[in-house]
Amino acid sequence: MLVNMNDVLIPAKNGKYGVGFFNAVNVEMARAVIETAEELNSPVMVGTAEVLLPVMELERVAEYLIPMAEKATVPVCVHYDHGLTFERCMQAINLGFSSIMYDCSTDPYEENISKVAEMVKICHAMGVTVEGELGHVGDNAGAGKLAHPSDYYTDPDTAVDFVTRTGVDSLAVAVGNAHGDYAFPPKLDFDRIAIISQKTDLPLVLHGGSGLSDDDFKKAVQIGISKINIFTDIDKAGKTGIEAGLQAGAKSMMGLIPYEIDAMKAVVARKIELFGSKG
């Protein structure tokens, strides 16, 4: 069934488990995510992000993702990740997305608050949930180029001010995580996660989940991370699956699709078990 973010993250926060959010820029990815969640009887979040729209337009994504979520036997939140413009967020809501992230984390603080607060007001009137980001989760492509990376980490007291004044349903935190492939093993600031969780009492979101260790996930979920974003891992698994299919002698796209889906399903299943949302 199609649900919003609160429907999956509030039980997750209370039950101390995490829910995976997976981007699905084609039908194979969407099948891998939703079918695995159904097989493991787990809630799940699935969607796309503004930077991924050149691969598959938002309208096309909605055409397969929303009916698939509605028909699923488990709770599925269809979430628009890293919405960067007001217009695209409105389009996502109109297309039936049940949740959005409005990422104004690179704007000055007061602007981040006023833009996100307005978005929350609109979305909540329609039963749509909103994720905000404070601090900035950077990209691994820029790793090592910042003199003081922790300058971009989420400050706990500022987080309280941010969530109170915006009314967001969840908060993406910058705690040593980054998007894409990690150039060197990330070191998460667990104390910071715990303090932000305690002070805000909101489900926290960990972006850049691909490449973190199993122990990192387990610990992060125990102390307040309720949503974990995974894209790079399933994206790469799809490619590995296609390579395996070619090696096995598949001669067509149709022949490759099962390999692609199986490889991505294995990653989704492993994450669901690791995050503790199975069952």
Q: Give me the active site residues, please.
A: 81
- Stretch of residues binding Zn ion (CB under 5 A), selected from 27-35, 104-112, 204-212, 246-254: 204-212
- Stretch of residues binding Zn ion (CB under 5 A), selected from 9-17, 202-210, 236-244, 246-254: 202-210
Report in angstroms how near the CB of residue 217 gets to Zn ion at its nearest. Answer: 16
Q: By CB under 5 A, is residue 31 in contact with Zn ion?
A: no
User: Distance between alpha carbon 11 and the CA centroid of its chain, in Å?
Assistant: 17
Q: By CB under 5 A, is residue 207 in contact with Zn ion?
A: yes
Question: Which residue's beta carbon is nearest to the bound Zn ion?
Answer: 207
Report in angstroms how near the CB of residue 80 gets to Zn ion at its nearest. Answer: 12
- Stretch of residues binding Zn ion (CB under 5 A), selected from 150-158, 199-207, 253-261, 265-273: 199-207
Cβ proximity to Zn ion: between 44 and 256 the closer is: 44
Distance separating alpha carbons of residues 211 and 179, to the nearest angstrom: 10
Cβ proximity to Zn ion: between 31 and 79 the closer is: 79
Report in angstroms how near the CB of residue 212 gets to Zn ion at its nearest. Answer: 13
Within 103-235, strands assigned E span 129-134, 170-173, 204-206, 225-230
Cβ proximity to Zn ion: between 118 and 139 the closer is: 139
Distance separating alpha carbons of residues 80 and 71, to the nearest angstrom: 19
Q: By CB under 5 A, is residue 227 in contact with Zn ion?
A: no
Within the chain, strands assigned E span 2-3, 19-23, 44-49, 76-83, 99-102, 129-134, 170-173, 204-206, 225-230
Report in angstroms how near the CB of residue 125 gets to Zn ion at its nearest. Answer: 26
Q: Which two tokens stand for residue 277?
A: 């949302």
Cβ proximity to Zn ion: between 2 and 49 the closer is: 49
Q: Which residues pair with 139 in a beta bridge?
A: 179
Rounded alpha-carbon distances, angstroms, from residue 39 to 5, 21, 34, 266: 21, 17, 9, 12
Distance separating alpha carbons of residues 220 and 138, to the nearest angstrom: 19
Binding residues vs Zn ion (CB under 5 A): 207
